[in-house]
A and B are shown apart, each in its own frame.
Chain A
């Protein structure tokens, strides 16, 4: 077998190695699943890492209640097909319990509120490692993230005091109450993920492909007008356009892009030629220069 000749295969080998380190070094790992392409890629990598055994940890979805319906339908089908245990915790419950307060106004989003629900769930299940699909090329603060990233009892990231990671040795030693966020696809770019999805023929939710959608324009971005989740002013006109989504976050903070890419190979082509970054359509990063870093310090994923 010659598995290390191309970039994508060497990234795959690295990610499988990381998955196995998680299973070996931790007692209660969990894979954080959002229904997005990155976490779907993680599931594929985990399947390959432990074959012919089943993935030795459950999946957990922190549901904002504002997910694209296509994503939820896809999530349930994937877990059923692979026989995976799925845990769902709802942001709505955190709101009902009075732990977090819903934002209001035209930029209201539940994206920030996820953090509380996530930290509560980690405590509830005593998870000591949470595998996530974050990548270093996504955002400047994430470029500084380790593969094994230690969080304190409050789930917080101490960005200036991170453990050095040398060669491919991963130190997962932690104290009781701490947990580690693990990022097996740290070194992948958006294009790498799509190339892998194409190579492995992985099924992904339909909203990643170009489709006709009712949208409206605001601040130079394209917002879905098909659901009540995104606040829309009356003077913001609804149009029908061919669009797709590059990231599948909470509907309230994920904008669409114009596209006619209806297949995986067309998407790969489109990204290769793109002049806008992936998170360019994420309003949560545009709140301020250090928006992602601040969220991460608080325990955001």
Chain B
């Protein structure tokens, strides 16, 4: 069974949690004790319908305030697929959670309240999904029951959204519009008979049929060494294995490789997964590799194919999403964690700040506040081995760590 990770984005009261609750309910993924808890709580709050948002808002503060604060992960499955939904909050101040959710998702759902239409928040949600190059985006126009299931309203929102689409950077992103009512269950799991003018699929059917081709891991193989395995036992006296995850393409026994940064050449001798040897290591598999020659390889080094080198440099420019309450400033020092590799970095320049509502760029910015997105140039104390984000999702992204607080303070996508 394949897995589909989905991120959701919507503003406060767009009914995001209700939508997820509805999916769980209609796919019979809610167990009887969880359903009972929702029924009890809905009754206690005096609602005349079941409040499905109670299925997902997990923190006490969330239930008190009736909002979602932190990314929650929700699991359900159909006969065809396993789904993981990253339910990300829509408030302005929680943009970082949306970036986080979108970073691991293959598809995303942007919710729009049919009564409000495309608002500033919608621009931001779409911008982030496009910046992170999420392959499939569903624009779910919700609360159709409150606009009398009007085709005209749906078309107006679709036209407004299409204007945004013309401004996007990643043009190949696939966008699908679906009119729904999460509360009433229209076009969520079951096709609604209240909107005969809509000829497309219900939301779940659309997700079920999404092309499984994994665009995120297509590219050239990159093998960042995570850990060196040296058993030093009688049976494996001279064993020196390099443990890591394969990104991009496959690696095979006999491949001519180069170890970065030493640029030492060798060949792949064996590929282990646990106690079995394999001819090839597929994408995203956590394997252990041994090499023909006895060379010095350590954590943070990268094994690549001889004819396919990444950029090796001590400087780069990236789109950065800043996530900390303390500002990023020119000259500021941070740790760049690129895969498993950590290097010290200095902010060389803020090239321009990008308004995530598609209202243009700000070339005068000298610092970045929380949720700002900007093109930033960095200088490093030693080279890293990277690809552009648009060509290599894993080897083109990094996180920024504040060396004082140790917190993850930003994410970057190399240009």
Q: Is the CB of B283 within 8 A of A4?
A: yes
State whether A275 and B32 are in contact (beta carbons under 8 Å apart), knowing that A24-B299, A52-B231, A52-B239 are contacts in the complex: yes
State whether A159 and B1 are in contact (beta carbons under 8 Å apart), knowing that A13-B286, A141-B58, A290-B60 are contacts in the complex: no
A23 to B, closest residue via Cβ: B227
Q: Is A203 an interface residue (CB 8 A)?
A: no
B288 to A, closest residue via Cβ: A51
Query: Chain B 57-87, CB within 8 Å of chain A: the 1/0 string?
Result: 1111101000001111111010000101000
Partner of B340, one of A24, A139, A276: A24
CB distance from A286 to the nearest CB of B (A): 9
Q: Is the CB of A143 within 8 A of B63?
A: no
Partner of A48, one of B227, B274, B407: B274
Q: Is the CB of A164 within 8 A of B96?
A: yes
Instruction: State A165–B407 Cα separation when bound (angstroms).
Output: 11
B406 to A, closest residue via Cβ: A173
B279 to chain A: which residues have CB within 8 Å? 1
B229 to chain A: which residues have CB within 8 Å? 50-53
Tell me which of A14-22, A62-70, A92-100, A112-120 binds B.
Answer: A14-22
Query: Chain A 1-29, CB within 8 Å of chain B: the 1/0 string?
Result: 11111110010111011001101100000
Query: Chain A 51-84, CB within 8 Å of chain B: the 1/0 string?
Result: 1111000000000000000000000000000000
Tell me which of B157-165, B348-356, B393-401 binds A.
Answer: B393-401
Q: Is the CB of A7 within 8 A of B70?
A: no
Partner of B282, one of A4, A7, A173, A186: A4
Partner of B103, one of A13, A23, A166: A166
State whether A13 and B285 are in contact (beta carbons under 8 Å apart), knowing that A160-B70, A167-B397, A277-B33 are contacts in the complex: yes
A102 to chain B: which residues have CB within 8 Å? none
State whether A162 and B275 are in contact (beta carbons under 8 Å apart), knowing that A1-B287, A2-B282, A169-B339 are contacts in the complex: no
Tell me the chain B residues, 385-399 only, with Cβ under 8 Å from chain A.
393-394, 397-399
B226 to chain A: which residues have CB within 8 Å? 17, 20-21, 24
CB distance from B394 to the nearest CB of A (A): 6
Partner of A289, one of B60, B274, B323: B60
Q: Is B3 an interface residue (CB 8 A)?
A: yes
A274 to chain B: which residues have CB within 8 Å? 31
Q: Is A266 an interface residue (CB 8 A)?
A: no
Q: Is the CB of A51 within 8 A of B272?
A: yes
Q: Is A32 an interface residue (CB 8 A)?
A: no
Query: Chain B 301-345, CB within 8 Å of chain A: the 1/0 string?
Result: 000000000000000000000010000000000010101100000
Tell me the chain A residues, 174-201 only, with Cβ under 8 Å from chain B.
174-175, 186-187, 189
State whether A13 and B60 are in contact (beta carbons under 8 Å apart), knowing that A52-B233, A277-B34 are contacts in the complex: no
Q: Is the CB of A20 within 8 A of B227?
A: yes
Chain B at the A interface: mostly helix, strand, loop or mixed? mixed
B275 to chain A: which residues have CB within 8 Å? 51-52
Q: Is B230 an interface residue (CB 8 A)?
A: yes
Partner of A10, one of B3, B32, B103, B280: B3
A142 to B, closest residue via Cβ: B58
Q: Classify chain A: how many residues form its interface, as a range.
A: 35 or more
B280 to chain A: which residues have CB within 8 Å? 1
Partner of A160, one of B61, B71, B99, B235: B61
Partner of A167, one of B61, B104, B244: B104
Q: Is A123 an interface residue (CB 8 A)?
A: no
Q: Is the CB of A164 within 8 A of B323?
A: yes
A49 to chain B: which residues have CB within 8 Å? 243, 286
Q: Is the CB of B239 within 8 A of A187?
A: no
CB distance from A87 to the nearest CB of B (A): 23
Q: Is B153 an interface residue (CB 8 A)?
A: no
CB distance from A92 to the nearest CB of B (A): 32
Q: Is B236 an interface residue (CB 8 A)?
A: yes
Q: Is the CB of B394 within 8 A of A167?
A: yes
CB distance from A80 to the nearest CB of B (A): 18
A23 to chain B: which residues have CB within 8 Å? 227
A275 to chain B: which residues have CB within 8 Å? 31-32
A289 to chain B: which residues have CB within 8 Å? 41, 60, 63
CB distance from B12 to the nearest CB of A (A): 17
Q: A1, A47, A48 — which one has the most chain B CB atoms within 10 A of its CB?
A: A1
Q: Is the CB of B97 within 8 A of A164?
A: yes
Q: Is the CB of B227 within 8 A of A10?
A: no
Partner of B73, one of A5, A17, A187: A187
Partner of B231, one of A54, A159, A186: A54
Q: Is B245 an interface residue (CB 8 A)?
A: yes
B69 to A, closest residue via Cβ: A160
Q: Is the CB of B399 within 8 A of A171?
A: yes
State whether A4 and B284 are in contact (beta carbons under 8 Å apart), knowing that A17-B245, A53-B230, A293-B59 are contacts in the complex: yes
State whether A7 and B411 are in contact (beta carbons under 8 Å apart), knowing that A1-B279, A13-B285, A166-B399 are contacts in the complex: no
CB distance from B223 to the nearest CB of A (A): 12
Q: Is the CB of B96 within 8 A of A175?
A: no
Instruction: State A49–B61 Cα separation when bound (angstroms).
Output: 38
B61 to A, closest residue via Cβ: A160
A162 to chain B: which residues have CB within 8 Å? 70
B335 to chain A: which residues have CB within 8 Å? 173
B63 to A, closest residue via Cβ: A289
Q: Is A140 an interface residue (CB 8 A)?
A: yes
Tell me the chain A residues, 267-301 only, with Cβ under 8 Å from chain B.
274-277, 280, 289-290, 293-294
Q: Is the CB of B100 within 8 A of A164?
A: yes
The 7 A-B pairs of least Cβ separation, nearest first, read A140-B58, A1-B278, A173-B406, A16-B286, A53-B231, A3-B285, A277-B31
Q: List chain A positions with a Cβ less than 8 A from chain B.
A: 1-7, 10, 12-14, 16-17, 20-21, 23-24, 47-54, 136-137, 139-144, 159-160, 162-169, 171, 173-175, 186-187, 189, 274-277, 280, 289-290, 293-294
Q: List chain B positions with a Cβ less than 8 A from chain A.
A: 1-3, 31-34, 41, 56-61, 63, 69-75, 77, 82, 84, 96-97, 99-100, 103-104, 226-227, 229-233, 235-236, 239, 241, 243-245, 271-275, 278-288, 299, 323, 335, 337, 339-340, 393-394, 397-399, 401, 406-408, 411
Given contacts A51-B275, A187-B73, 5 further A-B contacts (CB under 8 A): A6-B1, A7-B82, A49-B286, A175-B406, A186-B73
